């Protein structure tokens, strides 16, 4: 019996290798090496073996691409290496400025001598998709995550396994313990068109563009839906451990971006075939100009090129800012512009009362999607455009995403056209609109305006605040129109009879909504603070304020007595402080705080949340406060994540790259280029014992 099991195990391994090789040849190399009938026969044999012997199922088996059960939600993953975004240039002059800054930094500050004074550049197409971080452990795909905020993303491993061009195992003899791959998931144009035709036929809303369709697909909770949409993937970067020794004789460990692209292809990834190594800026400019003309012939969407310093040594020396690497830049193509006819101008009222003019015009195709409206932002922009009824206007998509009106063709204006002006009264509540001195924004100041209330409620229930999925825009509009809700706190006074009377609601969905509302009371302090909708207080500022103040009462007291304390918090400043002062001066907001507290909201740190600090933590010192620290090499007494947590608990900040702003480099065993750069920049280098002494 044992012998039979061993034979099955050996056969299953052989089938996996054959089928994975066939998948790679078909999807990645576009060169099938096996007849479909033979593939199907071998695949059925593998499925049969795995069905009768579940212990033989491995994570790199082709059967695992089918997707498992639908997920209930996405967990958050911390990126081992931050997934930074790129700085943008919008023309070749800005690319030239980046190139000059980069070469100057290399020669003058880093004092690295360029060979023959040339900086080699790898030019790649900027694929219009979604960045994905892949983690391979001992050569097996174990994690896949979205970019998220660059530090944390959503765990979409089950969905990514369905993408045929992403290998489940790597073609390496001795894969390192951890290998990080970055790339772009995207939806090919033909797939996008096919899916939209199907959605139109069954009466579903069409996807706006391939990028949005890809993003929506990756966010599906059911991997089988993801598998049915045939997403594709291009790998573009690899992070290899410095101390890893490559044993494959036919492979060479990459020392430059151009090497890395070839290496990625050799170990099983699909790599965009249009990248080129350029020896100077002029050749990079030519690459940009060529693809500006040819990009519409590609089977996928691209909105620019990416220019990278080719040498890894120079990349490491240049390092990164908090947001983007200094050694790369995305050069966007100009937005497509088209003329159309203005139909009308409508005026929207937001949660702060700000009036936003919105132009509605005859539909026009831009960047692959039909567009028929665009915001004009404020009265100043409206006056600048000098819009008249039935004007012919020029529209485009800013950044290939947001529609905007950029100009008016006055020569085509009809003789009896009337000037379009901002109304004097609110279109929702008829209150007089006010434009305060030195402000471009015109506002409705009626606190009872239904449009302001709607905006506040939508902000409160959003994912970043209370995350109440059951309350969308249409439901909130019904609640306001029926008079059930006149403030945020009224949401928590709703009864099942009131909710079930709404359109498309029954007892079950009403009970689900009531449950969501009660669960939202448990949201942490920073989300509650953000949800209050204090003007200018975004998510990041709400987190900073929630960290600095234990409760809404503490914030209120300090803002009234010592506003400079708030102003001095990183990222706040005078303007936001003034906005917070103004918010607390409104009696309706004070009443809202009392009502939310009565409902059960903490509006502060609680003992049941991770944000609650113990007495020891409150009184402890922060020996590394304000210090910027980089880790390199292997640590003996702790993992990298443990070291990072210890440093952050002591007030320090851990970054991934060396710069002149770095205070300490903690160097473990087998330290590489970061250690070299620290010596060049004169950074203090310490070991694990030194770190303990600092603490």
The catalytic residue positions are 126
Determine how β-strand 402-408 pairs with β-strand 130-137: unpaired
| Cβ 33 vs Cβ 22: under 8 Å | yes
- For residue 256, list its beta bridge partners: 311
What is the dihedral angle through the alpha carbons of 591, 592, 597, 603, rounded to the nearest 10 degrees? -120
DSSP structural state of residue 488 = G
Tell me the C-alpha distance between 681 and 229, whole Å: 49
Strand order in the sheet with 179-186: 140-146, 130-137, 179-186, 232-239
Closest C-alpha among 691, 685, 645, 642 to residue 665: 685
Tell me the C-alpha distance between 289 and 494, whole Å: 59
3 state DSSP class of 233? strand
| Cβ 381 vs Cβ 404: under 8 Å | no
Q: DSSP letters along 193-226, please? A: HHHHHHHHHTTPPPPSSHHHHHHHHHT-S-HHHH
Tell me the C-alpha distance between 485 and 404, whole Å: 34
Determine how β-strand 369-375 pairs with β-strand 355-366: antiparallel
Tell me the C-alpha distance between 656 and 322, whole Å: 9
Length of the chain, in residues: 695
Which element (helix H / strand E) includes 72? none
SS3 content of the chain, % helix, strand, coil (to 5): 40, 20, 40
């Amino acid at each position: 019996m044992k012998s039979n099991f061993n034979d099955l195990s050996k056969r299953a391994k052989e089938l996996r290798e054959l089928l994975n090789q066939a998948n790679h040849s078909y999807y990645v190399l576009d060169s099938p090496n096996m007849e479909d009938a033979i593939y199907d026969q071998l695949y059925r044999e593998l499925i049969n073996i795995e069905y009768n012997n579940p212990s033989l199922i491995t994570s790199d088996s082709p059967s695992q691409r089918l997707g498992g059960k639908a997920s209930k939600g996405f967990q958050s993953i911390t990126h081992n290496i931050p997934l930074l975004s790129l700085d943008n240039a919008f023309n070749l002059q800005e690319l030239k400025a980046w190139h000059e800054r980069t070469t100057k930094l290399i020669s003058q500050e880093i004092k690295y001598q360029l060979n023959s004074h040339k900086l080699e550049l790898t030019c790649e197409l900027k694929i219009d998709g979604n960045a994905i971080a892949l983690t391979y452990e001992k050569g097996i795909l174990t994690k896949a995550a979205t970019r998220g905020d660059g530090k944390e993303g959503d765990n979409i491993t089950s969905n990514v396994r369905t993408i045929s061009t992403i290998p489940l195992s790597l073609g390496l003899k001795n894969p390192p313990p951890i290998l990080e791959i970055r790339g772009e998931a995207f939806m090919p144009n033909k797939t996008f068109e096919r899916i939209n035709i199907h959605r139109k036929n069954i009466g579903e809303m069409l996807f706006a563009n391939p990028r949005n369709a890809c993003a929506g697909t990756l966010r599906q909770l059911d991997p089988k839906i993801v598998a049915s949409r045939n997403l594709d993937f291009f790998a573009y970067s690899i992070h290899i451990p410095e101390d890893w020794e490559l044993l494959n004789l036919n492979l060479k460990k990459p020392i430059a971006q151009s090497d890395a692209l070839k290496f990625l292809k050799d170990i099983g990834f699909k790599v965009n075939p249009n990248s080129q190594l350029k020896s100077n800026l002029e050749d990079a400019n030519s690459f940009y100009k060529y693809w500006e003309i040819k990009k519409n012939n590609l089977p996928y969407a691209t909105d620019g090129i990416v220019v990278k310093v080719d040498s890894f040594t120079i990349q490491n020396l240049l390092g990164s800012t908090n947001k983007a690497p200094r050694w790369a830049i995305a050069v966007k193509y100009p937005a497509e512009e088209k003329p159309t006819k203005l139909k009308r101008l409508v005026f929207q009222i937001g949660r702060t009362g700000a009036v936003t003019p919105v132009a509605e015009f005859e539909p026009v195709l831009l960047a692959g999607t039909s567009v028929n409206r665009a915001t004009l932002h404020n009265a100043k922009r409206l006056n600048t455009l000098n819009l008249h009824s039935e004007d012919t206007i020029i529209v485009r998509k800013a950044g290939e995403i947001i529609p905007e009106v950029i100009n008016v063709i006055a020569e085509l204006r009809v003789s009896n056209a009337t000037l379009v002006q901002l109304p004097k009264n609110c279109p929702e509540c008829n209150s007089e609109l006010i434009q305060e001195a030195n402000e471009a924004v015109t506002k409705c100041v009626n606190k009872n305006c239904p449009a302001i209330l709607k905006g506040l409620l939508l902000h409160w229930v959003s994912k970043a605040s209370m995350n109440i999925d059951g309350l969308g825009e249409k439901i909130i509009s019904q609640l306001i129109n029926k008079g059930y809700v006149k403030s945020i706190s009224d949401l928590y006074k709703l009864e099942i009879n009131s909710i079930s009377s709404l359109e498309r609601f029954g007892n079950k969905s009403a009970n689900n909504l009531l449950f969501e509302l009660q669960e939202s009371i448990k949201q942490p302090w920073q989300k509650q603070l953000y949800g209050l909708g204090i003007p200018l207080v975004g998510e990041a500022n709400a987190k900073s304020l929630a960290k600095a103040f234990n409760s809404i009462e503490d914030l209120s007291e300090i803002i009234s007595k010592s506003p400079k304390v708030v102003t001095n918090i990183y990222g706040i400043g005078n303007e936001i402080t003034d906005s917070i002062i103004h918010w607390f001066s409104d009696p309706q907001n004070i009443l809202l705080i009392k009502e939310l507290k009565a409902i059960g909201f903490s509006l502060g740190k609680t003992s049941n949340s991770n944000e609650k600090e113990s007495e020891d933590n409150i009184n402890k010192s922060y020996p590394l406060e304000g210090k910027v620290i980089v880790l390199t090499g292997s640590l003996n007494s702790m993992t990298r994540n443990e070291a990072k947590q210890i440093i952050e608990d002591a007030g320090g900040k851990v970054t991934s790259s060396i710069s002149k702003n770095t205070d300490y480099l903690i160097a473990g065993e087998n330290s590489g280029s970061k250690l070299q750069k620290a010596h060049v920049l004169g950074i203090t280098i310490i070991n694990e014992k030194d770190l303990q002494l600092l603490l």
